[in-house]
Amino acid sequence: MTTPTLGRLITAMITPFAPDGSVNLDEARRLAAYLVDTQKMDALVINGTTGEAPTTYHGEKSALLKAVVAEVGDRAKVIAGVGTNDTNHTIGLAKEAEDAGADGLLVVTPYYSRPPQDAIAAHFTAVADATSTPIIIYDIPHRAGTEVAESTLISLTAHPRIIGVKDAKGNVASSARVMAATGLDYYAGDDAMLLPLMAVGAVGVVGTSTHFSGAGTRVVIDRWLAGDHDEALRVYRELLPVYTGVFATQGVMLVKAGLAARGFAPGGVRLPLLPASAEQAQTFVAVLDAAGL
């Protein structure tokens, strides 16, 4: 298999906040370096769901992206989350991300409006037409309110800049059909779906628990690609409680709790989220401990 344009192991990075609630750029740089150098990331997604993009402001998004590009852009890809439910706004964010040095763009299905499939295709096409950076479509029906249909995904492969899908649809058979019909780079958008999706042709994962499980997940990916499926399955099963445990509540809440327990300063979360409860945090840290992370 050829190496995907944006790599195989990707973390959707949290956005650290300072005690006063502002974006902590120093801690963002520290965390980005740790994820790339220690957790073996090929790429980071900045300003995604786990980065609390719905509650960070325009200037904050830009400053965060620039800081991470400056810190790790020489040794990892940086992918900017730019998706909104407004096509013109998304195009504006995409152009700014390009100017800031982003290597790729993550564009979610327009949410709330629930556009029909021809309008969804028109949205993604308009963004791709307006930019020169590779685009990963983020297909997550339970958040967006509608799926990107198989026929829509297949038709969008005609655009040279639409190169991949972050797949949180939860339908392996559907994803397998699209992979069989296209050359799209498919990424598991749910950590636990990594190995099931790789079995039908996916290239890797855009993970959340990979803030902690990245190095082990690298083993899963590499062993699977090398044909050592038994070892890949063994390590996957060891990490499965972490892959699922991070979503016991909103993923960013538990990632921040776990990072705080591991000596980082991720800060709190912004409303409408709340910090993980003491019980939730203790349970997740116990899962990390049990996995040797």
Q: Is the distance from CB of 164 to CB of 136 less than 8 angstroms?
A: yes
Judged by average pLDDT, the poorest of 1-10, 55-64, 103-112, 280-289 is: 1-10
* Best CA proximity match to 56, nearest among 26, 14, 110: 14
Q: Per-residue pLDDT for 240 more than 70?
A: yes
What are the angstrom distances between the C-alpha of 148 and each of 41, 122, 180? 27, 12, 16
**What value does the mean pLDDT take over residues 213-234?**
98
Confidence check: pLDDT of 72 > 90 = yes
Number of neighbours of residue 156 by Cβ within 10 angstroms:
20
pLDDT at 173 over 80: yes
Q: What is the pLDDT of residue 141?
A: 96
> How much is the pLDDT for 236?
98
Active-site amino acid positions: 138, 166
Question: What CATH class has 9-247?
Answer: alpha beta
Handedness of CA 280, 282, 284, 287 (dihedral sign): negative
Span 138-150, mean pLDDT?
96
Tens digit of pLDDT for each residue in 29-61? 999 999 999 999 999 999 999 999 999 999 999
108 pLDDT above the threshold of 80: yes
Work out the pLDDT band at 92, boundaries 50, 70, 90: very high
Question: Which sequence spans correspond to the domains of the chain?
Answer: 9-247
Q: Has residue 1 got a pLDDT over 70?
A: no
* pLDDT, mean over the chain: 97
Residue 83 host element (H or E): none
Q: What is the pLDDT of residue 2?
A: 78
**Residue whose pair of structure tokens reads 């902590």 in the numeric block:** 24
Mean pLDDT of 75-98: 97
The DSSP code sequence of 89-140 is HHHHHHHHHHHTT-SEEEEEPPPSS---HHHHHHHHHHHHHH--S-EEEEE-
pLDDT digits (tens, 9 = 90+) for 146-164: 999 999 999 999 999 999 9
